[in-house]
């Protein structure tokens, strides 16, 4: 097993919004649908059981008529602090674990996103595929959503 740091992609942001608002945007299905997908894309929340052991499944219609499915299981939830879940973004990314950390900073929220891959090689491959841009654009949408 390779070192965790070598197989983890980390994105850090400070959102110009209070922690409670950022948390709600991450945990309420009607809010998730507004920012999780790339710009201009529609997201359908198929399942969202926000409890430890609960499943989540999102579907995004693709231009070719297929559905892009994202799904996983929530494995740890600490209110307004941490969400950990497994994730498959088929066919691009499979069997990763996402750790989302939230920390209040006055009226702002410090946010850390870790995507843990099975191997260092898989992590490098995901970097080349544009994981930073993909999640970065979703977090840009999240910033716009929570400030609108």
pLDDT tens digit string along 127-145?
A: 998 888 889 989 999 999 9
- Residue 129: give its domain's CATH number: 3.30.530.20
What confidence score (pLDDT) does residue 93 get?
Answer: 84
What confidence score (pLDDT) does residue 62 get?
Answer: 82
Q: Cα–Cα distances in Å, from 1 out to 7, 10, 37, 96, 135?
A: 10, 19, 32, 14, 26
> Which strands, in side-by-side order, build the sheet including 67-78?
8-15, 108-116, 93-105, 82-90, 67-78, 55-61, 44-48
CB atoms within 10 A of CB 53: 9
Any domain includes 64: no
Q: With a cut of 50, which residues of the chain have pLDDT below it? A: 1-2
pLDDT tens digit string along 55-77?
A: 999 999 888 888 889 999 999 99
Any domain includes 92: yes
Any domain includes 65: no
Domain that holds residue 110: 4-40+76-146
What confidence score (pLDDT) does residue 2 get?
Answer: 43
Any domain includes 140: yes
Count the domains in the chain: 1
């Amino acid at each position: 097993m390779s070192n965790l740091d070598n197989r983890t992609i980390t994105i850090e942001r400070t959102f110009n919004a209070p922690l409670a608002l950022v948390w709600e945007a991450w945990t309420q299905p009607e809010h998730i649908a507004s920012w999780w997908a790339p710009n201009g894309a529609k997201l359908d929340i198929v399942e969202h059981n926000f409890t430890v052991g609960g499943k989540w499944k999102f579907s995004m219609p693709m231009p070719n008529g297929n559905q892009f499915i994202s799904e996983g299981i929530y494995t740890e939830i600490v209110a307004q602090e941490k969400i950990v879940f497994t994730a498959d973004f088929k066919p691009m990314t499979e069997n990763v674990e996402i750790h989302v950390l939230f920390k209040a900073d006055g009226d702002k929220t410090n946010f850390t996103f870790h995507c843990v891959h099975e191997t260092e090689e898989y992590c490098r491959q995901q970097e080349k595929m544009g994981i930073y841009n993909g999640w970065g654009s979703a977090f840009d949408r999240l910033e716009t959503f929570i400030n609108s």
